[in-house]
């Protein structure tokens, strides 16, 4: 797969990671990749190493062996501060819930990543306008956007603000960690529609993590955690 | 900019705890600056009390004691200076002017001082300022008195009001037979003169005509008119202020007075005696500054504790910041920024409280302690203190900030609530 990395938004190659400390587990990913513009669902139960995998992809933690490339750029060898900057530029993240700084306004929450990502900032000439374009498209009312603090919004509204934050400045990879689990079934479908539409219009690749297999048909491809990763658990001495 | 806004918003969101913390730091800043103000105000007020007087002469005691009773009306003379010695010193060629002072009587809570009319010209304060009359003028009759501004204000006296002098300082024996008349009221000076009743040296003798050995001679009553006809040369005075013709002669004159053969006398330079006084007061000053410094340190530690206790609840927030690309160092910086903002707000509030307090307390402090606290801008030293408090807040917040740094390194973007 190394010869086709240029077409890939993400590749993991013989990645091995071991948490420090006693009884900690390790994660090995031999070969995993996502092509540009692809929408991939990663299925896994809790404890399957999803969080660890995401923190490796986001460059919060660095693997002991192997390479991780985003947009063809190898990032495991970067210094931590450079990786932080790289993450800000390349990746937008949506969590399950509690995505926002509760005391900040929705607008400040959306604009926050631009503070750490000058290239993303340069891609939007009018940051506030771009944010409103996203929130309008996501069906967030301007009155909700005018809220003084983000914690006054409903959970559904907060998730949309989180999507706008992930998408602003069009990063190449969007990582969504169970973004719909806090929503009711009706909102889940419409939330996914909006997420897909905005990823497409931003040209971003989507990696969504979930335990809900029913979502699989809506994605280009779904992958099971156990098919790509092996867990090693260190036996306590 | 957005980080500063976030820090401010974060503080506003926790307004109750943040407000209390800020208030605690503000109070400590007020206390510290207040101590500074009172300290420098007291020093300035003391230092401004007498100027242009080269030597003060009194009976031999300590130089600080002499300065305190002759100028500040604090404490008492242990002994007097005989009129003969006074005359001899006055006649010396180096002496340009000499003003005698006679203390020992009181009117209500105020001290009575006998002197000559020259006192009003020779006594200078605050870098050479003259005494001025707010009303009336200096005494010309034997039973005329000039009162200080505080005396007039406290007792409600006006010109021509009668005034009876009491014998001693805390005595029930009044010199009832010789009532005085208020001839003049001095303008406020911010010195002990404000709290003094000034009469002529002869008047001091006059009210003691019927007294012997500290008690009134029974049955003996001399009328004011009889007294006016008497020769009222004082037997002794308490102290004298001296101006010399040439400053070069001060030390020679001082030496000759200090070695005066007929009587144990002491001559001091007011400035030197004041320095000696500061040497004594300095220990208390240092203690005060140290205590108020401790209070500031305590308040800052309280702030650090408050940041610490909030860290766990804010791990979620730190994870979000990390996820959007903030470095652990940025998370740490945000916490320190919050601390510095709190300290800066506290410092401003503290300064506001200080001036409000000064403005409110000034009349009371002035009336009660004779300490005139000027409302001036902050001195360089005080500005440095405020900057030091803010810097100390930054340093103190390092502890919780380093903890946040570690937490955000280990948590990464893991969801923790």
| Residues of B whose CB is below 8 A from A98 | 316, 320, 415, 417
Task: Tell me if A205 is assigned to some domain.
Answer: yes
B40/B186 same-domain check: no
Say yes or no: B263 and B153 in one domain: yes
pLDDT at B75: 84
CB within 8 Å: A103 and B10 = yes
Residues B232 and B302 in one domain: no
Q: Which of B316, B323, B329, B333 to mutate to test the interface with A (most CBs of A within 10 A)?
A: B323
Residues of A in contact with B329 (CB under 8 A): 81
Residues B312 and B193 occupy one common structural domain: no
Residue B388 belongs to a domain: yes
Q: Which of A51, A96, A101 sits opposite B317 (nearest CB)?
A: A101
The answer to whether residue B417 scores a pLDDT higher than 50 is no
| A117 has a chain B CB within 8 A of its CB | yes
Mean per-residue pLDDT, B288-298:
92
| Assigned domain for B275 exists | no
Residues B301 and B168 placed together within one structural domain of the fold? no
In a domain? residue A213: yes
B65 Cβ contact partners less than 8 Å away, ≥ 6 residues apart: B75, B78
- Domain with A82, as residue range(s), is 2-232
Domain membership of residue B403 (yes or no) is: yes
State whether A81 and B417 contact (CB < 8 Å).
no
CA pair distance B269, B271, nearest whole angstrom: 6
pLDDT of residue B85: 93
Assign B350 a pLDDT band (cuts: 50, 70, 90): very high
Residue B302 lies in a domain: yes
A147 touches B at CB < 8 Å? no
pLDDT of residue B359: 92
| Position with higher pLDDT, A20 vs A153 | A153
Summarize pLDDT for B19-44 with one digit per residue, the tens.
999 999 999 999 999 998 888 888 88
Which of B268, B292, B327 delimits the end of a domain? B268
Residues A103, B9: C-beta atoms closer than 8 Å? yes
Number of structural domains (chain B) is: 2
> Distance from CA of residue B362 to its chain's centroid?
11
Asked if B5 is an interface residue toward chain A (Cβ–Cβ < 8 A), one would say yes
The C-alpha atoms of residue B79 and residue A37 are separated, in whole angstroms, by 104
Between A and B, how many CB-CB pairs are < 8 A? 82
Provide mean pLDDT across the span B150-171.
Answer: 82
Mean pLDDT of chain B: 87
Which tens digits make up the pLDDT trace of A75-107? 888 888 898 899 999 999 998 877 899 999 999
Task: Please give the pLDDT value at position B214.
Answer: 65
Above 80 in pLDDT, residue A127?
A: yes
Give the separation between CA B270 and CA B55, rounded to whole angstroms. Answer: 6
Residue A202 resides in a domain: yes
* 3-state helix vs strand vs coil in chain A, percent to 5: 45, 25, 30
CB-based contact (8 Å) between B416 and chain A?
Answer: no
Of these ranges, B3-17, B36-50, B219-233, the one predicted with the greatest mean pLDDT is: B3-17
Whether the predicted pLDDT of B63 surpasses 70: yes
Give domain status of residue B68, yes or no: yes
Tokens of B358: 């000064």
Give a yes or no: residue A237 inside a domain.
no
User: Does B215 score more than 80 pLDDT?
Assistant: no
Please indicate, yes or no, whether residues B404 and B297 belong to a single structural domain of this protein: yes
Span B291-319, average pLDDT? 89
Q: Which residue has the higher pLDDT, B140 or B347?
A: B347
More confident residue, B109 or B414: B109
What is the DSSP annotation of A46-80? TTSSHHHHHHHHTTSS--SEEEEEETTEE-TTS-H
A38: closest CA of chain B, how far (Å): 22
H/E stretch holding B190 reads none
> Does A222 reside within a domain?
yes
Average pLDDT over residues B306-315: 86
A93 and B323 within 8 Å at the Cβ level: the answer is yes
| Residues of A with Cβ-Cβ distance to B317 under 8 angstroms | 101-102
pLDDT at site A21: 67
For chain B, give the percent of residues with pLDDT over 90.
46
Same domain, B28 and B127: no
Nearest chain B Cα distance for residue A82, angstroms: 9
Asked whether the beta carbons of A38 and A66 are under 8 A apart, the reply is no
A34-38, A64-68, B227-231, B288-292: which has the minimum mean pLDDT? Answer: B227-231
- The residue among B325 and B96 whose pLDDT is bigger is B96
Residues of B in Cβ contact (< 8 Å) with A80? 327-328
- Grade residue B415 by pLDDT with cuts at 50, 70 and 90: low
> Pick from B268, B295, B320: which residue ends a domain?
B268
Instruction: Determine, for residues A115 and B320 on separate chains, whether the beta-carbon distance falls below 8 Å.
Output: no
**Across chain A, what does the average pLDDT equal?**
87
Which residue range is the domain that position B141 belongs to? 55-268
As for how many domains chain A has, the answer is: 1
Instruction: List chain A residues with CB under 8 Å of B341.
Output: none
Is the model's pLDDT at B200 over the cut of 60?
Answer: yes
* pLDDT band, very low/low/confident/very high, at A1 (cuts 50, 70, 90): very low
pLDDT-derived band at B120 (thresholds 50, 70, 90) equals very high
Interchain contact, B412 vs A55, CB within 8 Å: yes
Percent of chain B residues topping a pLDDT of 70: 93
Residue of B nearest to A99 (CA): B320
Share of chain A above pLDDT 70, in %: 95
Q: Does residue A43 lie in a domain region?
A: yes
| B137 shares its domain with B244 | yes
Question: Residue B329 domain-assigned?
Answer: yes
The DSSP bridge partners found for residue B113 are B198
Nearest residue of B to residue A106, measured between CA atoms:
B6
**Mean pLDDT of all residues in B181-208:** 89
pTM of the model as a whole: 0.75
Q: Is residue B394 part of a domain?
A: yes
B287 and B347 both lie in a single domain: yes
Is B221 found in the same domain as B246?
Answer: yes
Q: How far is B9 from chain A (nearest CA, A)?
A: 6
Rounded average pLDDT over A153-163: 90
Separation in Å, CA of B406 to nearest CA in chain A: 13
* CATH code, domain carrying A179: 3.40.50.300
The answer to whether the Cβ–Cβ distance between A105 and B322 falls below 8 Å is no
Q: How confident is the model at residue A237 (pLDDT cuts 50, 70, 90)?
A: very low
Q: Are residues B145 and B209 in the same domain?
A: yes
Q: Which residues contact B207 (CB under 8 A, 6 or more apart)?
A: B105, B165, B167, B175, B178
Same domain for B240 and B145?
yes
């Amino acid at each position: 797969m190394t010869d086709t990395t240029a077409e890939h938004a993400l590749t993991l190659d013989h990645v091995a990671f071991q948490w420090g400390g006693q009884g900690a587990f390790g994660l090995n990913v031999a070969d995993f990749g996502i092509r540009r513009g692809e929408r991939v669902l990663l299925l896994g139960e809790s404890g399957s190493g999803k969080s660890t995998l995401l923190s490796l992809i986001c460059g919060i933690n660095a693997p002991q062996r192997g390479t991780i490339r985003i947009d063809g750029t190898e990032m495991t060898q970067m210094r931590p501060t450079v990786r932080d900057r790289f993450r800000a530029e390349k990746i937008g993240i949506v969590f399950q819930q509690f995505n926002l700084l509760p005391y900040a306004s929705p607008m400040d929450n959306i604009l926050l990543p631009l503070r750490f990502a000058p290239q993303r900032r340069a891609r939007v000439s009018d940051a506030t306008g771009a944010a409103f374009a996203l929130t309008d498209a996501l069906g967030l009312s301007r009155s909700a956007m005018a809220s003084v603090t983000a914690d006054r919004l409903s959970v559904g509204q907060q998730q949309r603000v989180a999507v706008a934050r992930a998408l602003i400045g069009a990063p190449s990879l969007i990582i969504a960690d169970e973004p719909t689990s806090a929503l009711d079934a009706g909102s889940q479908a419409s939330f996914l529609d909006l997420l897909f539409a905005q990823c497409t219009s931003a040209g971003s690749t989507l990696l969504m993590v979930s335990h809900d297999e029913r979502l699989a048909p809506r994605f280009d491809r779904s992958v099971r955690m156990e098919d790509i990763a092996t867990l090693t658990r260190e036996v306590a001495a | 900019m957005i980080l500063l806004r976030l820090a401010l918003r974060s503080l506003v969101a926790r307004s109750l705890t943040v407000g209390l913390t800020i208030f605690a730091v503000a109070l400590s800043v007020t206390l510290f600056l207040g101590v500074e103000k009172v300290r420098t105000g007291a020093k300035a007020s003391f230092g401004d009390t007498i100027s242009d007087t080269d030597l003060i002469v009194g009976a031999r005691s300590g130089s600080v004691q002499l300065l305190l009773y002759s100028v500040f009306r604090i404490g008492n003379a242990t002994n007097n200076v005989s009129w003969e010695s006074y005359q001899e010193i006055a006649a010396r060629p180096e002496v340009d002017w000499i003003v005698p002072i006679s203390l020992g009587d009181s009117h209500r809570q105020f001290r009575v001082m006998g002197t000559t009319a020259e006192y009003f010209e020779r006594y200078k304060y605050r870098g050479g300022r003259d005494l001025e009359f707010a009303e009336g003028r200096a005494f010309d009759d034997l039973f005329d008195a000039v009162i200080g501004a505080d005396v007039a204000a406290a007792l409600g006296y006006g010109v021509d009001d009668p005034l009876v002098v009491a014998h001693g300082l805390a005595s029930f024996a009044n010199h009832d037979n010789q009532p005085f008349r208020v001839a003049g009221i001095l303008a406020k000076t911010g010195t002990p003169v404000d709290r003094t009743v000034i009469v002529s040296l002869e008047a001091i003798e006059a009210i003691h005509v019927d007294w012997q050995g500290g008690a009134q001679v029974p049955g003996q009553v001399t009328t004011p008119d009889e007294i006016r006809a008497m020769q009222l040369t004082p037997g002794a005075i308490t102290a004298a202020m001296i101006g010399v013709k040439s400053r070069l002669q001060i030390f020679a004159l001082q030496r000759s007075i200090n070695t005066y053969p007929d009587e144990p006398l002491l001559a001091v330079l007011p400035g030197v005696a004041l320095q000696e006084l500061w040497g004594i007061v300095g220990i208390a000053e240092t203690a005060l500054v140290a205590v108020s410094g401790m209070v500031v340190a305590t308040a800052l530690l309280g702030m650090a504790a408050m940041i610490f206790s909030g860290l766990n609840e804010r791990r979620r927030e730190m994870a979000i910041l990390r996820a959007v690309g903030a470095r652990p160092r940025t998370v740490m910086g945000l916490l320190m920024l919050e601390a510095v903002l709190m300290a800066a707000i506290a410092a401003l509030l503290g300064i506001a409280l200080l001036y409000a307090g000064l403005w409110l307390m000034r009349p009371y402090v002035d009336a009660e302690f004779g300490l005139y606290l000027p409302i001036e801008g902050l001195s360089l030293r005080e500005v440095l203190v405020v900057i030091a408090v803010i810097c100390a807040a930054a340093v103190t917040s390092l502890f919780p900030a380093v903890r946040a740094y570690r937490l955000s390194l280990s948590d990464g973007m893991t969801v923790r609530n």
